[in-house]
Structure 1
Amino acid sequence: MAIPDFIQDDDDEHRLPLLPAGTRTESHKDSFFSDRIEHQLFYGPVKRMADELYDAGPLNGPRDALERLTMIQRLQSSLDALTSVLLADSAEQVSESLADTIATQDSNTEEEEREARRSAEYYGIDRGSDQVINSNLIAEASVALRESPRKVAKRMFHAKGLRYVCKDTLMALAAGEITVKAAHDIVKYAQDLLPEQISQMQHLLLPMAKTASDDAIYQRARRFHDRMRPESAEQRRKKSEEHRRLTLQDDENGMSTLKYCNSAAVVHSIKNSVKWVADQHNDPEDPRTREQIEADAFADIILNGWPGHEGTPLKPRVSITIPAVEMLADPSRTVADLEGYGPIPLGAALQLAKDAPSFQRVLTDPWTGAAIDVERRSYRPSQGLKDLLRNRDEHCCFPACRRPADRSEIDHIDDWAHGGHTTRENTQLLCKQHQMFKHALGWKVVARPDGSKMWVTPHGLNSIVVPGSVKRVDQFDHVSDHCPERPRVIPLPHVRLTPEVRRVLGLKPHIDIPEKSPVTEPPHMGGQRETG
């Protein structure tokens, strides 16, 4: 049986037999000698296999290629073991240094540190708690590894399990003897077991894991766990129901998948209800398949209510950006942008926009696609700024965070209390969690002249964040740190100002504008302008 893709992820380090933070001697060596031994155990295999691959020379046939692939797999296992050690050790050691690091940063004044403490009180957090320290480190590690915090959190779970609980598995992984997947499955099913049971599981599985498939180890680890932790069917059902959830996954080509997990009785009732609605549709001319009719019926029920009812009180709201000039110049090559998802075909966007109750014009930079202004005909300035940030940033501006604009708030880059102004250059969208990171946990952000933001972590790592609406980043200049040069000649397509064009651009019929313009460079948009 294959490993199911949809298995619920309920891994929790609190279900592992871990000693309290600060008492894990594996991360606190008591001598230089033991430090050097560990260095050789975890770095030695990586260096040896990397050197062997480098010294192998040109490829000599398919057998040689297969042998090198085997070596690369072993190297990946060793690298994962080393990554696990670094993550677990840093999580253990940072608890002793993070508060000091935040307090002694060169850029922090005494007043800023007092404000950070007040912010911690405001957000209701203890900067020295294990949970806050772990979350902060995961955010920093996501910058270092260029991965999402969620993925790094999963790495941290496996790291602590290997470093402190499944030590034999860690050593086999470091030697390249087992795969990363096998090691992670052993940690996963070590949850809720006693230390002696975990030792027995490793003793049984590790010899087999050196040659068996990942699927075989997964199945055996799961069965061993179930034998050691027998539960009644009713207990397992109640435990599973705790993980009911609704999740969203974005697919390709403008599609998304909604996944709903609940008890079998509830899910089957929903499915049967949708089938009943679909059964009422008896149009022989309808070209849709049965599956398509059920999918459309389900969407209608969720968005508009059951047939014969008035529908849901809260109607869905989506935001679509359609580049009008590009659409008029070459519709076949134009893509629109669906907020929270990304590019979608122009035809799909126009279909969605057809029934839109209102439009809002957004001025975008023609070189990068970034939103730089919004119309304010019917909005107060504060609402106009909010609309601009929603279109420009699209989501929280913290590194690797994708929380949408609806779940984020306006944040001053330079604090209002220190003279920061409420301008588009000094504001950004931040979710609640990452406002707390910025104001209470020592993260710094600097607005750069090219429109990007540079974040600095408490331990000094840098991460550049570009506004979500930017489509082209080749004009951004992070190294020279100045506003990017604009091309002097813009090869604009010739578009006639037909009544349709005027309507899209919001031009009144009586306004006379020449269809050809002698201008060969864009209007001044900031930075220094050469003259003479």
Structure 2
Amino acid sequence: MTTRSADTRTRADSGARRRDAGRDVTLARLDELLADLSAAQAEINALEGRRAALLADIADLAEDAESAVLDTDDPSRRRTSSSRRRELVRRAVVAEVGTTLRLGEHAAGSLCEQAQTLRRKAPRSFAALAAGRCSWAHAARLARHLADLDPADARRVESSVAPALATSTPAQVDARTRRARDSVHPEPVEVRSAKASEHRAVYLDDARDGMAWLTARLPVTLAHAAYDRLTRTATALHTETDSLIVSQGRADVLAALLLDDGTLDRDAVPASAPGRDSGRDPGRDPGTAPDTAPGTARTRPVPGIATIARSIRPQVTVTVPVLTLLGVADIPADLDGHVPVAPDTARELAALAPSLWRVLTHPESGVPLSVGRESYTAPSALKATLRHRDATCRFPGCTVPAVRADLDHTTAWADGGTTGADNLAHLCRHHHVLKHQTGWTARQGPASGGNLEWTSPTGRRHTTRPDGGVVASRHGSAPRDSAPRDSAPRDLSSVGSGDPPF
């Protein structure tokens, strides 16, 4: 009996060693492939850097190519203004680039402008691209925000964003550059918002397979409120939390809100409403929910999607500096932790808010107080402060807003973790599950300032830093004589049939 037990343990130990050995071999192979992938991407980045240098050369050449490009025999040329001639030259050169690269002229023109902007206003990032340390996708996001800044201000923005080019996703670079640009732009945010608002619009672009893109460009507060209502209604309509189901629900709600003006058949059971019975008895009233059991008389009408959506109040989170709220200063507020909001708009929203949270932090460090092991659930003020601190999910590369993420104990409560700013961070549901059910781990310490150090199953380390915070402006007040100016209409000629027009 003893011999059999020893043999069983020996076989079990041997099986465990084989499984561990197999796991080590798999991770070693994965590590090797990831290293090769990183090297290949660096080569691609360097080629994109070479392409950018050529595009910048072409853009520079176009500025002095009038005599070579324009038709010298055209009698109307003498009557054409200098700005018009420059535009004609630019169009001709961009057409050359587009036909060479097999791109639409709008896309080709954007490439030339972004490459020229990078070389002139962000030389450090331009060099990083040429060396393969960042991709064109990252550099182009930076260039887009620098185009209307003078070189000195552009360098200030680049200096604060350049370190993130090699460690962040393009979307994160875009968000960081947008905030940095707001802090140095010579015009106050409310003036720029007024100008941009004049170009609010809705675009319709046909896609493949009987689909289309309906895109709206709206003031940021309206867009966030609308999206919040779509999300809340879609979540109320479905018990599933799958992101695809919720995305489909948002589309259903949007269509219902736009098309149901109150005159449609609102007693009909909507296609995606709770309680929908695809095999319902055609003799039963379509405005009643199906019976839950034989003999149960339940005739409660199922409301339409638009009706449900109109009953849900959208919510947005606006963090307003107290001096701005009091009208003493015009420091911009921020929306959902990362989108700048003009001071006047922030004060208007605060005046309409049903309630306000006052968040008090340490007077020197700015860190909110911890409740230690006294409570698993963070108090409301601490939650609000951490939403503001994190802004988004804290997994590397994730941009899900903190307002739609879980507040996770980095060191689990069951393992002695405390409920404080140095042990709490926002994770979207997807990455929350990833942290607890895979080999991905995270840690932060009392002196980390909210930084999270992630370790992947292959041992790679990635650090994410809190990216929230109100961006201070150089302006104390808006100039009173500023007036909105016109800008060129949006060109959608290069939008592909299957891609969103963003």
Mark yes or no: TM-score above 0.5. no
TM category, shorter:
0.3 to 0.5
TM-score by length of 1: 0.36
TM-score by length of 2: 0.38
